[in-house]
Chain A
Amino acid sequence: GAVVSQHPSWVICKSGTSVKIECRSLDFQATTMFWYRQFPKQSLMLMATSNEGSKATYEQGVEKDKFLINHASLTLSTLTVTSAHPEDSSFYICSALPGLAGSYEQYFGPGTRLTVT
């Protein structure tokens, strides 16, 4: 089956620093990737949708200048949390949509646990 990886799986950073999270589709090309955030005991919330080679589309309430998304290739999307603060501590999950016509399954990565101290 389709595999999506994320790196790192967990990260601790100091307040005010930036953190980059990578999302890779390992055995398929993904024209679209999604970034979700999940706070403890809550459900996943879509943050943004990224399409390869174009600007990401952010959901309402998500600051695009704080959460920088780059989808530079068909197998890699990155999320950079800039000037992180403790309230950004969360579980960040990406998913990827294969570029095949008629394919609508989103395949999820294992998630990245971010803790900002």
Chain B
Amino acid sequence: DAKTTQPPSMDCAEGRAANLPCNHSTISGNEYVYWYRQIHSQGPQYIIHGLKNNETNEMASLIITEDRKSSTLILPHATLRDTAVYYCIVRVHSRGSQGNLIFGKGTKLSVKP
């Protein structure tokens, strides 16, 4: 079972920041927080990941709380093409089954004009 909890859906106005929350209260010390997204009828796309520090890349920012029990993915200027299901996944960096990605239901983000 997925170890994360996300709201089932969110709306965001085009051009505004989209803030997607994720709860992972049972996260272990060696587990990373990963974010993927899946645009309709496509394969998932990696967005960002982090352990305990905040991270930023060209796609998004990841804010992890100090106790690591929750995180927020921020898309700074959402566009219509960001409409997708966003998955928050916790996993260890293992090449074995412990490192498998377990997808929950995710958050369906709808960016509206």
Kindly state the separation between the CA atoms of A101 and B60 in the bound complex, as whole angstroms: 26
Which of B1-59 touch A at CB < 8 Å? 36, 38, 41-46
Q: How far is the CB of B45 from chain A (nearest CB, A)?
A: 7
* Inter-chain contact total with CB atoms closer than 8 Å: 50
Binding site secondary structure of chain A: strand
Number of interface residues of B (CB under 8 A): 21
Q: How far is the CB of A109 from chain B (nearest CB, A)?
A: 5
Of A11-19, A42-50, A70-78, A80-88, the stretch lying at the interface with chain B is A42-50
| A110 and B42 contacting across the interface, CB-CB below 8 Å | yes
| Given contact pairs A43-B105, A44-B103, A93 touches B95 in the complex (Cβ within 8 A) | no
State whether the Cβ of B99 lies closer than 8 Å to any Cβ in chain A.
yes
Q: Which residues of B contact A (CB under 8 A)?
A: 36, 38, 41-46, 87, 93-95, 97, 99-106
Q: List 29 A-B contacts (CB under 8 A).
A: A6-B43, A31-B95, A32-B95, A34-B100, A34-B101, A43-B104, A43-B105, A43-B106, A44-B103, A45-B103, A46-B101, A46-B102, A49-B97, A57-B97, A93-B43, A93-B44, A95-B43, A95-B44, A95-B101, A104-B94, A104-B95, A106-B46, A106-B101, A107-B46, A108-B36, A108-B45, A110-B43, A111-B42, A113-B41
Please name 4 further chain A to chain B contacts, defined as beta carbons within 8 Å, in addition to the given A95-B44, A104-B95, sorted by A numbering. A44-B38, A57-B97, A106-B46, A110-B42
